[in-house]
Each structure stands twice: as structure tokens, then as C-alpha cells.
Amino acid sequence: MREIEIKRKTAETDIDLYLNLDGEGKSSVRSGCGFLDHMLTLFASHGGFDLRLECVGDTVVDDHHSVEDIGICLGMAFEKALADKRGIVRYGSMILPMDEALILSAVDLSGRSCLNFDLGIRAKKIGSFDTELIEEFFVSFVRNCPMALHIRSLAGRNSHHLAEGAFKSVARSLKAAVAIDEKNRDRIPSTKGVL
């Protein structure tokens, strides 16, 4: 089982995160940000990842530190759970419809951090959640589990649908990328021999 627990405490957040890449999509998420709870619950379900997250953050200021630090911890958890990435598929992609929204995501667990993000969300907030924090979350995630991650809206107007479609699509792409390639279980999927 590829599972890991991450604990991270700063002056701004106190986070306890458990991740099982080979789970059943079960989750218990208490981030202190209702919208992020919703997105991470969807992420776990669509990725087939078991995720337990507790975050106590300085949300009296705003959600920024909690969102950023949760992205850091989730990235660290993926990176540690994947170890040397031996036997993984490495690549994954998904074009996912969410009502009128259509989201493309693609991932390469290359060991190099690159985020190409363009959702075109027009609203500044979804409920009380600052929409610019969606990109901030994924920036923190790819910096801590180095990968090339592309997230792009191909269609859509509703901000909630665009955001939800992005989290679902990325989860499905990651599910494919972290899957074990049975024919190549003992190989690192790179001609360089390292990722």
C-alpha cells in the first residue's frame, strides 16, 4: 500500500494529512474552508484516493494560508507515497464535462515542476472563497510533488462548475498516472532511469 501521513505546523496552520493512493475514494476533510472541503472530497472520490485532512488555520485573516499549506502537504504526501516512482504509468489525462463546463487536465509525474493553468473563472468569489486560491492550491501542489500539470477550460461559464470540473479532472488524471503498470512493475518509466 502506498500510504503516508504528513504533519506540518507553522505559525499560520496546523495540518494533519493522511493519503492512501490505493484507496477506495473515502475521505474525511476538515480544512476550515467549506469550498475546499467540497473540492478535496470530490478529488479523493474521483481519484480513488483515501484522504483524511485536519487543518486549523488562521482563517480569521482569510483562507490563503490554509489553502496554500494544504496544497503543500498534499503534494508532499503524493511525492513520498510514490517514492522512486517505480512501476507507475507516469502520464494521465482527462477531458471532463461538468454541465456546461469542459475541463482538460494532463499530468506527467516527471520530477520537474510546471503548472499551466487557465480556467478562465470570471467571478472573484465562489461563496466566500477567493477563486484565485484555486491556482494557488495547484501551484503549491506541483511544487511539492514535482510534475507537469496542465489545467484548462475548453468551455464553461459557471465558476463553481469550472472549479469542480478542474478538481475532478485532475483527480482522474492523477489516478491514471499513479496507477501501477503491471507489465513494467519493476521499471522506472524514464529512459534516464530516474524521475
Summarize pLDDT for 19-37 with one digit per residue, the tens.
Answer: 999 999 999 999 999 999 9
Taking the C-alpha atoms of residue 27 and residue 121, their distance in angstroms, rounded to an integer, is 27
Assigned domain for 155 exists: yes
Helix (H) or strand (E) holding 146: none
Domain count, the chain: 1
Length of the chain: 195
Assigned domain for 77 exists: yes
Taking the C-alpha atoms of residue 93 and residue 57, their distance in angstroms, rounded to an integer, is 33
- DSSP code per residue over 16-38: EEEEETTS-S-EEEE-S-HHHHH
Residue-wise pLDDT tens digits, 127-184: 999 999 999 999 999 999 999 999 999 999 999 999 999 999 999 999 999 999 999 9
Assigned domain for 193 exists: no
Assigned domain for 194 exists: no
Assigned domain for 37 exists: yes
Q: What is the CATH number of the domain that holds 64?
A: 3.30.230.40
Residue 37 CA, chain-centre distance (Å), reads 13
Residue-wise pLDDT tens digits, 69-127: 999 999 999 999 999 999 999 999 999 999 999 999 999 999 999 999 999 999 999 99
Assigned domain for 96 exists: yes
pTM here? Answer: 0.97
Q: Given strand 27-30, what is the order of strands in its sheet?
A: 3-9, 13-20, 50-57, 27-30
Residues near 86 by Cβ (< 8 Å), separated by ≥ 6? 185, 186, 187, 188
What is the extent of the structural domain holding 105? 3-184
